[in-house]
Chains A and B, each alone.
Chain A
């Protein structure tokens, strides 16, 4: 038991230790200061800018920035959609997979451009290497970089600077943050045993009966894997994601993955501290998601460590870790840690089946995605966190007898509309409404495998994962169409899969672009405000007191709206298990 807790603590310590270095580095990159990559990258970037015709010195307004994101995302979306639907005509398709159904292709496209990587397919049997590398792998960089750009633009706006230029931010995020780390990381992963090959599946005779052979899927996994984690994408090369021994062969790779997942969203808070010239506030803000993260890890790990009393009764022991749906090489601690971190940051890679977690796990992972600020998505998580701060300033700031200000910038109608819209409204609309519809027609639409409280969690999880752009699945839903090969062989498509593909598209889009536009407009209006100098009458936002107040506001405003579904889902399930029925 102790070993497990030590593993968890060490991982978190490494993350905290990395934060200042990566945070400072990213600040240098986006403040266009000198970095070690300048000699190689400056000419490359200049070439890119002149090819594309980007006027690099031109700052964008919030609307321009948002439009640039939307247009470029539409173009990228069309590209990925055509690659997937045309994969049978493209090279690098050793197994000759035909195009998947249109709804699967659409869902996959939207899921990857929104940095979600929710997968209603299995990589091995649905997509060719070309689709995986050119379609998905490419978007793992661009969608992550889009997120970072939004985060940086938001930080700039909040600290009173112009928002910057989206294209420049996008390119710098890729060339100076994502690519260098990915290249180094992929090499380390290859060394640690992750395959990287364009050869098709290897066919080997089985040990039991050499007459029977087995095809083992492989492919260009290592480079895909590192950006999957670093960019908080989470879309696995193989269906079972990081539980697959080729994606995540051992504890060492597992650690690299965990650190890669959280490194950028944690460091961005530090980057804010440098921009705002207030590292004290950066660390205080940092402590909010860290505290919530630690609480969720403890809740989840305790549940997994104690195991299922019903199973334990059968085994005749008082306590045995819940290992259902887990890889034995990771055990309860690494699995619980991975599950919480992957849902806290909006990565969505999984190294165990979240469906098989004890209700504690369901509670933590769901809450993580409802809040989406427990470090949260690439760039957007940090921005949400500060939007919460703005909301906390507004709700409690009046109590000091002044119009609420955030670093001297008055919070007025426009800011309240944008912040409350984005923080409070998008999620209930994108999660609860489709969730309620799916649950109203459980047989026709949902295809729930575990009816009851757990089935409720499955449905809500799927939409929460889509709306928060997380992408992990609780699984257990009839959300996949048959593979293209199976369809070619005569398998029928299902309505439930069609419903899931289309309804989650709504949540994916609403959960990504509405907040991004709102965040950019919010940053824009904050940056245009004349700052008021601070006095003793000004509410200071960089104090422990205010940090505590913000946690309260996050819990009351962000979490309470989901209390009814949590009560009927994981909480009711926990009581059910405690009573010993089902």
Chain B
């Protein structure tokens, strides 16, 4: 049991992607209601969440491309 937790802990530090995904989804909890409010009823709640996720995905891609721009050697 303890080992499993330790393993998850070390994996956590090694694998950044799940962490980022989790943070992205958390952020969406704030973003999606804002989207929902801004579109004033044109979107269903689900669509607002998906749209929020799409916005985060776009921003993540932009950050990724910025990263490529400054350290192209790693790609």
Asked if A and B touch directly (CB within 8 angstroms), the answer is: yes
A residues sitting closer than 8 Å to B (CB atoms) are 413, 417, 421, 440-441
CA distance A413 to B38 in the complex (A): 42
Q: Which residues in A have their C-beta under 8 angstroms from that of B69? A: 417, 421
**Is A440 a contact partner of B72 (Cβ separation < 8 A)?**
no
B residues sitting closer than 8 Å to A (CB atoms) are 38, 69-70, 72
Q: Which residues in B have their C-beta under 8 angstroms from that of A440? A: 38
Q: Which residues in A have their C-beta under 8 angstroms from that of B70? A: 417
CA distance A413 to B70 in the complex (A): 9
Q: Which residues in A have their C-beta under 8 angstroms from that of B72? A: 413
Q: Report the minimum CB–CB distance from A113 to chain B (whole Å).
A: 27
CA distance A421 to B65 in the complex (A): 12
Q: Which residues in B have their C-beta under 8 angstroms from that of A413? A: 72
Q: Report the minimum CB–CB distance from A391 to chain B (whole Å).
A: 14
CA distance A417 to B70 in the complex (A): 7
Q: Report the minimum CB–CB distance from A320 to chain B (whole Å).
A: 44
Q: Report the minimum CB–CB distance from B41 to chain A (whole Å).
A: 15
Of chain B, the residue at the smallest CB distance from A413 is B72
Residue from B69, B70, B72 whose CB has the most chain A CB atoms within 10 Å: B69
Q: Which residues in A have their C-beta under 8 angstroms from that of B38? A: 440-441
Q: Report the minimum CB–CB distance from A393 to chain B (whole Å).
A: 19
Q: Report the minimum CB–CB distance from A413 to chain B (whole Å).
A: 7
Q: Report the minimum CB–CB distance from A423 to chain B (whole Å).
A: 13
Q: Report the minimum CB–CB distance from A203 to chain B (whole Å).
A: 50
CA distance A440 to B72 in the complex (A): 35
* Pairs A–B under 8 Å by Cβ, sample size 6: A413-B72, A417-B69, A417-B70, A421-B69, A440-B38, A441-B38
Of chain B, the residue at the smallest CB distance from A429 is B62
Q: Which residues in B have their C-beta under 8 angstroms from that of A421? A: 69
CA distance A421 to B69 in the complex (A): 9
Q: Report the minimum CB–CB distance from B4 to chain A (whole Å).
A: 45
Of chain A, the residue at the smallest CB distance from B66 is A425
Q: Report the minimum CB–CB distance from A89 to chain B (whole Å).
A: 42
Q: Report the minimum CB–CB distance from B21 to chain A (whole Å).
A: 25
CA distance A417 to B72 in the complex (A): 10
CA distance A564 to B70 in the complex (A): 28
CA distance A35 to B4 in the complex (A): 80
CA distance A417 to B38 in the complex (A): 37
CA distance A213 to B14 in the complex (A): 79
Of chain A, the residue at the smallest CB distance from B70 is A417
Q: Report the minimum CB–CB distance from B38 to chain A (whole Å).
A: 7
Q: Report the minimum CB–CB distance from B43 to chain A (whole Å).
A: 13
Of chain B, the residue at the smallest CB distance from A420 is B69
Q: Report the minimum CB–CB distance from A421 to chain B (whole Å).
A: 7
CA distance A417 to B71 in the complex (A): 10
Of chain A, the residue at the smallest CB distance from B69 is A417
Of chain B, the residue at the smallest CB distance from A421 is B69
Of chain B, the residue at the smallest CB distance from A440 is B38
Q: Report the minimum CB–CB distance from A221 to chain B (whole Å).
A: 45
Of chain B, the residue at the smallest CB distance from A441 is B38
* A-B pairs, 6 with minimum CB distance: A417-B69, A413-B72, A417-B70, A440-B38, A441-B38, A421-B69
CA distance A417 to B69 in the complex (A): 7
CA distance A413 to B72 in the complex (A): 9
